[in-house]
A and B are shown apart, each in its own frame.
Chain A
Amino acid sequence: MRSPALRIYFPLALYALFLLFPFYWMLITAFKQNQELLNTPDPLLIYHWTFAHIVGLFTGTAYLQWFANTLIVSLGATLLSVAISYLTAYAIIRLRFPGSQMFGTAIFLAYIVPPSILFIPLAEILIRLQWFDKLWALIPIYATFIVPFCTWVLIGFLRSVPRELEEAARVDGASNLLIMFRIIFPIAVPGVITSAIFAFTLSWNEYLYALVYMSSSFNKTVSVGMTSELISGDVFQWGQLMAGALIGIIPALLAYFFLAEYYVAGMSGSLKD
């Protein structure tokens, strides 16, 4: 066990295999013919390729509409939440108003409350505002659970930005707003991107609120649309489900792929200068 190949890469390879297996399963299922799904000599191989599931998904369901809905809601919720979170975290860490510490803790507690407890009171609010079954209503709703989390991430990140930078800018003649956006924000970008990735993934995967608050098929998101329209009773259309899931992971995949570096820097909360 001396060589790094054995010590590091072998366990890593095992771990990768473990993590990637569900994706592999999803991939092959999306391209298998229906009769091969349950009755096949080797379930890990495809004997007869087919694109029928993917075609069926796009022609037989409103998948594209769901996809567009999810994208709009996720991007909207991400933008809104990150903007609010940056302002909140900045205020808590940099302005140090009376009670700011308590406020920070309160935000963390808000994150702990599970969404399933909140969906009835939230429904009440939505009905009173007459926002029920309105797609964009999901944006502020998602913000209710994303903002606490992103604020928490950004608080940790902003805390690591040296105070002297802000002070140097104050002496240099910058106003509070200018310091917040031109000095601290560029430094906080890794943290902002980390929280944005989180926000995006959380909203992309969200199921409960989208299920409860959106009733028409036109307003459904990917996760809700697929489970409600591709599962009827105990009949699972596995091929189309997996095809839909496969396409559904693309945005998150792209986000992580291009932003992984920032993500790591953001999570470790470190600022290499």
Chain B
Amino acid sequence: MAAVRLESVSKRFGKNVVVEAITMEIPDREFLVLVGPSGCGKTTTLRMIAGLETVSDGKIYIGERVVNDVEPRDRNIAMVFQNYALYPHMNVYDNMAFSLQLRGMPRAEVDKRVKTAAEVLGIGHLLERKPKEMSGGQRQRAALGRAMVRDPDVFLMDEPLSNLDAKLRVQMRVELVQLHRRVNTTTVYVTHDQIEAMTMGDRIVVMNEGAVQQIATPKELYDRPVNRFVAGFIGSPPMNFVSASLVREGDRVYAQRDDLKTLIPAALAVKLPTASRGEIVLGMRPEDVRVANATTPQSASGRVDLVEQLGSEQIGVIAVGSQNLLMRTSADTPLAAGDGIALSFNDAKLHAFDPDSGVAYF
């Protein structure tokens, strides 16, 4: 059990900056997810914590100890790799026992730990199998088992589910969270899949181009993204973005573009910079776009371009002027391609971003 702390940690390969001065603190027992598009530096960050990559700048703490120059084997961490990295010539038992044997643990204790972990993971009957004789899901469990038996201070997981098929991935996602609740070990989990990040993380670190964009709980990340990147990355289908002009009519502020004109509530409008040149990027999540009715003001008018039926709900692609807006509504809302439609936005949940820097105003 240990907390992990990164203090302005950077990684450079030659002149190429892969990770730029990131700082984060992972309290003991937390499940922290690093998420971002490929090449954002998340895996490099994880590998630096593991000691598989040297740190160019900054300090990494595991517990109270600076581990920059500590060998991976002396960090008391366990890592799960994307391709499992099970030793192909050893059976599952030996794969799991390997690290314990290296530490000179008594045979009986090794046996007990391996069997306990195997039972927890439901692979007790597979201990004699070689990795190649098992399915992807079973290999994944064996790889988790190899990490678990160590009883490490920190679990590091590098996209452990990405080689599994979609159904198994959902199942293993749940099992991993349950497992974490059970062993309560600090976990750093890397994924490029925002759904995995949202469903599994106590907190999420969104990274892009080697820098931390935002560190927050899933809910906070979804409701209050700090910039346009985070807003667009988290959520599926993604947030709608509309470049709009601010129009002031008396003390009311509207955002306008083509056939879209929506009132920005006074509580939000005060967060807009007064000095701005009147352009913003307006953002609204698909579920905050609704069909306008008598009680809601109309914010935009357009035409239904496409409807994606998902069973319990449907995603409508609405052409508004030159732009497409996604809306998510319940399946019984009448939506038909080609129809004209009037939209209203859930204006309390509107987002606005600086068109140049992408920083969120609200």
Contacts and interface: CB of A to CB of B under 8 A. Distances in A.
B132 A173 contact: no
Contacts of B150: 172
Given A187-B89, A273-B88, A170 B83 contact: no
Interface stretch (A109-117, A127-135, A159-167): A159-167
Contact of B73 (A165, A173, A272): A173
A158 to B, nearest CB: 14
A171 B87 contact: no
A167 B73 contact: no
Interface string A42-58: 00000000000000000
A267 interface: no
B102 interface: yes
Nearest to A172: B99
Interface residues of B, number: 25
A171 B73 contact: yes
B98 interface: yes
Contacts of A107: none
B101 to A, nearest CB: 9
A175 B99 CA distance: 11
A171 B131 contact: no
Given A168-B85, A183-B87, A173 B50 contact: no
B152 to A, nearest CB: 9
Contact of A165 (B72, B82, B87, B103): B87
Contact of A171 (B52, B82, B132): B52
B39 to A, nearest CB: 18
B89 A162 contact: no
Given A187-B89, A273-B88, A171 B72 contact: yes
B79 interface: yes
Chain A interface helix/strand/loop/mixed: helix
A11 interface: no
Interface string B338-353: 0000000000000000
A262 to B, nearest CB: 14
A251 interface: no
B61 interface: no
B99 A173 contact: yes
Most buried by B among A162, A171, A183, A187: A171
B73 A168 contact: no
B9 interface: no
Interface string A64-89: 00000000000000000000000000
Contacts of B131: 273
A171 B79 contact: yes
Nearest to A183: B87
Contacts of B50: 167, 171
B34 interface: no
A54 B51 CA distance: 66
Contacts of A171: 50-52, 72-73, 77-79, 99
Contact of B102 (A174, A186, A272): A174
Contacts of B82: 164
Interface string B67-82: 0000111000111011
Contacts of B72: 167, 170-171
Contacts of A123: none
A186 B86 CA distance: 13
Given A174-B102, A272-B132, A273-B131, A169 B87 contact: yes
Interface in B229-283: none
Interface in B129-152: 131-132, 146, 150
A165 B95 CA distance: 11
B98 A172 contact: yes
Contact of A170 (B73, B87, B89, B146): B73
B79 to A, nearest CB: 5
B78 A186 contact: no
Contacts of A183: 87
Interface in A144-191: 162, 164-165, 167-175, 178, 183, 186-187
A174 B86 CA distance: 14
A272 B250 CA distance: 73
Contacts of A186: 89
Interface string B90-102: 0000000011001
A168 B102 CA distance: 13
Contacts of A162: 83, 85
B6 to A, nearest CB: 18
A164 B83 contact: yes
Interface in B45-75: 50-52, 71-73
B132 A168 contact: no
Contacts of A173: 73, 99, 102-103
A273 B83 CA distance: 11
A23 to B, nearest CB: 37
Nearest to B158: A164
Nearest to B131: A273
Contacts of A271: 88
A160 to B, nearest CB: 12
A164 B52 CA distance: 10
A175 B71 CA distance: 10
Contacts of B103: 173
A168 B160 CA distance: 13
Contact of B85 (A164, A174, A178): A164
Interface of B: 50-52, 71-73, 77-79, 81-83, 85-89, 98-99, 102-103, 131-132, 146, 150
Q: Which 7 A/B pairs are nearest by Cβ-Cβ distance? A: A172-B99, A164-B85, A173-B73, A168-B85, A186-B89, A173-B102, A164-B81
10 contacts: A168-B79, A168-B87, A169-B87, A171-B73, A171-B79, A171-B99, A173-B102, A174-B102, A187-B89, A273-B131
